[in-house]
Structure 1
Amino acid sequence: MIALRFRTKLVSVGIVVLVASLQWSISSDRAALAKARPYWNEAFFDAYDAIETQQLSISSSSPNDIAESLNIDDAIGVASDVYAAPVVDGESDIEDADSDLDSYEISWGEGEYAEVFKATDLRNNQICVIKVLKPVSMRAVKREIKILQHLSGGPNIVQYVDAATDSTGNSTVIVTEHVNNTYYRTLYSAFNDTEVRFYTFQLLRAIEHAHSRNIMHRDIKPHNLLIEHENRKLRLIDWGLSDYYDEDYAYTTSVGSRFWRAPEILVDYEWYDLSSDMWSFGCMLAALVFASEPFFYGRYNDVNQLIKIAEVLGTRDLFDWLDEYEIILPDTFSNVTSWYERKSWPEFVNERNRQRVNDDVFDLLSKILIYDHKKRLSARDALSHPYFDPVREEALAHANSVTKWLV
């Protein structure tokens, strides 16, 4: 069990801290960056390749001196002289806090909803990721931790290591495995047909594992996939919006990112289910196969996003689905009146993607990217689809590569 203690006066212990320094002034551009990126990990990974790591010896420096030298207001720490204790099943036992951030050598930066650090555990020399959540609903924090624990060891799911909360309950730290990720825009464009099949199969394995435990991720998108290509390792990360599915429960539709949101979420249908993740998966598969990311590009809002979907899947099926489930479109969708015929998948083939497309992937997409959420292919059934036949044996044999944490 890792118990973390962290202080804004962390510098006084004389450790060396590596802090990510973006090539632009973070303090001056932070507001613009946060406004432009709705989720912290989007900003983080978009900036990943532009990070210039700066090593500082801070044994005699104050936090203010460091912040000033980096032009960062709050580069280090989230709480003042508070101690972190392990969180087990949502409970905190302060007496069990027997280690602290002195055990870590830290590098990397900050996001809108969390501060995220790459760290080395000096006790075992293993690299990990420390995610310091900014003050949010403690219920949501406990849920994320519980879900990570529940999924621990599952195929292609980021490995949970530990969590801690300070004595005030205002700040929580989640520790997970580290993946040597390649920025997705660089990686995806270089994929061949076999690699698209391999990695989408591995993503499906993660989704199926979660769904088998009645867990919805609710934010599947490229930013939440880490791929260590040299080891053919994929991890589905960021379970902060995930939840347990109960068919008798209505869920918030304030989840996910627009380009990957299922139609039922776009129209505020609160009785959605696990199949919303499969829509997001289908969007990723289409984006990879057709080399068009995002595939459904609603530039402005949810209304425009639904129109972009209708331009591909047609309007007739949209309104048939709305009628079937007695879904009344919100007033904001009043201008969704144009009539669109359904397009066939081969219409999206061009010279850029011709080597990635085939009849099997067209069939798979036609069974996932459909309005009626009850008729979408499940993750388990999708894993058996012929599209994955050429890579299934290799993908299933591929080691899960879960890091064993040695303290």
Structure 2
Amino acid sequence: MTAQEHLPVRPKVNMHALAQFPPSYAFHDTLPCVYGRQDDYEIGRKLGYGKYSDVFEGYCPETDSSVVIKILKPVRKKKICREIKILSNLIGGPNCINLLDVVPVHGSDYPALIMEHGGLSLAHSLPQLDSQSIRIIIFQTLRALDWLHIHGIIHRDTKPGNITYDLTTHKLHLLDYGLAEFYSYGTTLHHRVASRHFKSPELLVGYQLYDYSLDIWSLGAMAAGMIFRRNPFFRGTNNVNQLDKIVEILGSAKLFDLLDKYGIKLPQARAAELRGYDGMSFDVFLNNDNQHLVCEQALDFLKKVLVYDPEERLTVREAIAHPYFDPIREQMADLAIKDIKASKKLRDSLMSAQGKDLPPHIEGIIGLHPSSLPTWKVADPDKQDFPIPISPSEMTNNPQKYDEFTEEWNEYWVTLQRNILKAGMATYGEQIDE
């Protein structure tokens, strides 16, 4: 059976999120881009590498600030355009890393992305996490995914290595949008995405009509690893063995329900290998090293996100509402308000910004060189609707405490997005003919 004959996953929310924007919002076949200057940045030590890029620490003397320099490897130009487009469309979002500049690389046909420096990778902090930090990390990652999903974007590579987290300030950033993709219901998407240990079951059986719930599975696998101090939680040695490890823990029955529901066919021999597993209780992973991190609410949360059927997984906002996060709700709501108040200067300065002469504090957040972002004819920002991220009152079990801030919250996000669009930083309008 071909991908076109499969039944597509039907999202519970944000099915037509892209419809709130002009068609050009998701267009990335080509992307005119006026580069910034490579000489504006000093390259430092190597932070990491991957299939599609090498990542270095960097420094910008102009702003006396640390940056991250992501040097792209040879790949389809459309993929590069997609990453730049998605990053520019998500600018300023909660817990999302910001694109600062795009610069040419001497001797290469491929550019480098200059990114905000988010701090240390979460992967380095995993052994030090207590139960409060784990809740905060999962909650803030959900806030980042909420911003993506309401903008019609799937991250497709959520994992500790793509998150930075400060143990003292609790500041978190979701990184690396190289595999992120615009979502349109019923559209065939590539199944060779996500890192092996965080791949969802539907990816591992070659299914291509998935939706945002892919990110929920990846987050659930990450959460299980932190809660049980078993990283990674599903320990496959390759993509075939990865599904074996999932089935050993979650059992066979629901996997075959998934295959039947969405019309997915496996080779007979492979199907036989996956049958007969009863699964196991999460309790078997409880030990002296992790028992202080495990509670009934944590186990229930994992059971509701690590679900075979994408349509039965919690959505981002359902996950945020789960009782597992009750101990940190007001802390997270207060932190969200604090971030907004700290960003007031950004919003207020953008009120009069028209894509040039941006003040220094905006240059460090939105873009060192606004002209380096794609050049587009701007749609009428005053007639554009904008999505609103989950509010402090929606984060808590005591919404009355934060209700008076809701109007200010909504106004902030609408005004920020509208004036970023006016300033030429986002790319919702029509492409200028070259």
TM-score range, shorter chain: 0.7 to 0.9
Distance in 2, matches of 1:204 and 1:327, equals: 29
**CA 1:233–1:332 in 2, change beyond 3 Å: closer, same or farther?**
farther
| 1:87-126 → structure 2 map (5 Å cutoff) | 90-93=31-34, 100-109=37-46, 111-112=49-50, 113-126=52-65
Alignment-mate amino acid for residue 133 of structure 1: L
CA deviation after TM superposition for structure 1 residue 332, in Å: 7.6
Distance in 2, matches of 1:177 and 1:190, equals: 25
Alignment partner of 2:304 out of 354, 359, 367: 367
Q: Which has the higher strand share?
A: 1
Higher mean alpha-carbon deviation, 265-274 vs 109-118, is at 109-118
Distance in 1, matches of 2:41 and 2:109, equals: 22
CA deviation after TM superposition for structure 1 residue 229, in Å: 2.1
Alignment-mate amino acid for residue 214 of structure 2: S
Distance in 2, matches of 1:219 and 1:308, equals: 19
Asked if 1:288 is matched to 2:226, the reply is yes
Alignment-mate amino acid for residue 91 of structure 1: P
Alignment partner of 1:352 out of 276, 286, 289: 289
Alignment partner of 1:247 out of 172, 185, 190: 185
**CA 1:260–1:332 in 2, change beyond 3 Å: closer, same or farther?**
farther
Partner of 2:110: 171
Alignment partner of 1:232 out of 170, 187, 190: 170
Alignment partner of 2:241 out of 304, 316, 337: 304
- Contact kept, 8 Å, 2:133 with 2:167, in 1: the verdict is no
1:291-310 Cα deviation digits (max 9, x unpaired): 101111112x2221111111
Distance in 1, matches of 2:253 and 2:180, equals: 32
How many positions carry a matched residue from both structures? Answer: 314
| 1:370-389 → structure 2 map (5 Å cutoff) | 370-389=307-326
Gap regions ≥5 residues in structure 2: 1-27, 344-360, 369-434
Secondary structure of the 1:272 match is coil
Distance in 2, matches of 1:266 and 1:228, equals: 33
Partner of 2:357: none
Distance in 2, matches of 1:167 and 1:331, equals: 52
- Contact kept, 8 Å, 2:37 with 2:103, in 1: the verdict is no
Alignment partner of 1:394 out of 331, 343, 356: 331
| 1:1-400 → structure 2 map (5 Å cutoff) | 90-93=31-34, 100-109=37-46, 111-112=49-50, 113-165=52-104, 170-182=109-121, 184-185=123-124, 187-299=125-237, 301-330=238-267, 333-334=270-271, 336-398=273-335, 399-400=338-339
Asked if 1:405 is matched to 2:346, the reply is no
Structure 1 segments of 4+ aligned residues over 4 angstroms from their partners: 165-169, 399-403
Distance in 2, matches of 1:339 and 1:262, equals: 20
Distance in 1, matches of 2:187 and 2:208, equals: 8
Distance in 1, matches of 2:74 and 2:187, equals: 26
- Contact kept, 8 Å, 1:218 with 1:276, in 2: the verdict is yes
Partner of 2:391: none
- Contact kept, 8 Å, 2:122 with 2:163, in 1: the verdict is no
CA deviation after TM superposition for structure 1 residue 348, in Å: 1.9
Secondary structure of the 2:300 match is helix
Alignment-mate amino acid for residue 183 of structure 2: Y
Distance in 2, matches of 1:325 and 1:184, equals: 34
Secondary structure of the 1:108 match is strand
Specify which structure has the bigger relative contact order, considering alpha-carbon pairs within 8 angstroms and separated by 6 or more residues.
2
Distance in 1, matches of 2:53 and 2:150, equals: 29
CA deviation after TM superposition for structure 1 residue 108, in Å: 1.6
Alignment-mate amino acid for residue 252 of structure 1: H
Distance in 2, matches of 1:212 and 1:340, equals: 37
CA deviation after TM superposition for structure 1 residue 165, in Å: 4.5
Higher mean alpha-carbon deviation, 107-116 vs 162-171, is at 162-171
1:273-320 Cα deviation digits (max 9, x unpaired): 110110000001111111101111112x22211111111111111112
Alignment-mate amino acid for residue 214 of structure 1: G
CA deviation after TM superposition for structure 1 residue 247, in Å: 1.1
Partner of 1:25: none
- Contact kept, 8 Å, 2:234 with 2:246, in 1: the verdict is yes
CA deviation after TM superposition for structure 1 residue 103, in Å: 2.2
CA RMSD in angstroms comes to 2.3
Distance in 2, matches of 1:134 and 1:182, equals: 22
Distance in 1, matches of 2:274 and 2:153, equals: 35
Alignment-mate amino acid for residue 295 of structure 1: F
**CA 1:332–1:201 in 2, change beyond 3 Å: closer, same or farther?**
farther
Distance in 2, matches of 1:337 and 1:227, equals: 37
Percent sequence identity is 36
**CA 1:92–1:313 in 2, change beyond 3 Å: closer, same or farther?**
same
CA deviation after TM superposition for structure 1 residue 106, in Å: 2.1
- Contact kept, 8 Å, 1:181 with 1:229, in 2: the verdict is no
Secondary structure of the 1:146 match is helix
- Contact kept, 8 Å, 1:249 with 1:271, in 2: the verdict is yes
CA deviation after TM superposition for structure 1 residue 230, in Å: 2.7
